[in-house]
Amino acid sequence: MGLLILALWGCIPELTKNCVDMTNSSSTYLGIIGGAITGAVISWWIYNRQMKTTRAQDYLLQRIKKIEENNGKILSHIEEFTAYHNTVLEKIIRLNERILSLESKIELTGKKG
């Protein structure tokens, strides 16, 4: 059927036997068909490459998201440790102050006695 339609457009020596020369119209139609096929192949190739790139980017974004979640957990643990460290440090400072006040009381009682 395709050959019949192309044969109606003009003499196409590649498709019909009794043709001596290709007409301008058949040349144009063949050019359009060839361009459409070439365009379709190039479009498919670009789409395929973009899909591969998109999949790779999605994979990397998922990995980055997991890393950020892990970093958030680590940061919260560090904050908890820092709060605990500050509490312990305050207790040590208060203990040091008590020890110093006891030393000063001992020195005062030692000088009196």
pLDDT value, residue 52: 97
pLDDT value, residue 45: 98
pLDDT averaged per 10 residues, the chain (length 113) = 56 67 73 94 98 97 97 97 97 96 87 70
pLDDT value, residue 112: 73
Q: How buried is 26 (Cβ within 10 angstroms: 0-12 exposed, 13-18 middle, 19+ buried)?
A: buried
Task: Return the DSSP state at 30.
Answer: H
pLDDT value, residue 20: 65
Show me where the domains of the chain are located.
2-112
Residue 88, C-beta contacts closer than 8 angstroms, at least 6 positions apart: none
Would you mind telling me the total number of residues written for the chain in this entry?
113
What single letter denotes the amino acid at residue 91?
A: K
The residue written with tokens 């365009």 in the block is 39
Maximum distance among all alpha carbons in the chain? 139
The residue written with tokens 């940061």 in the block is 75
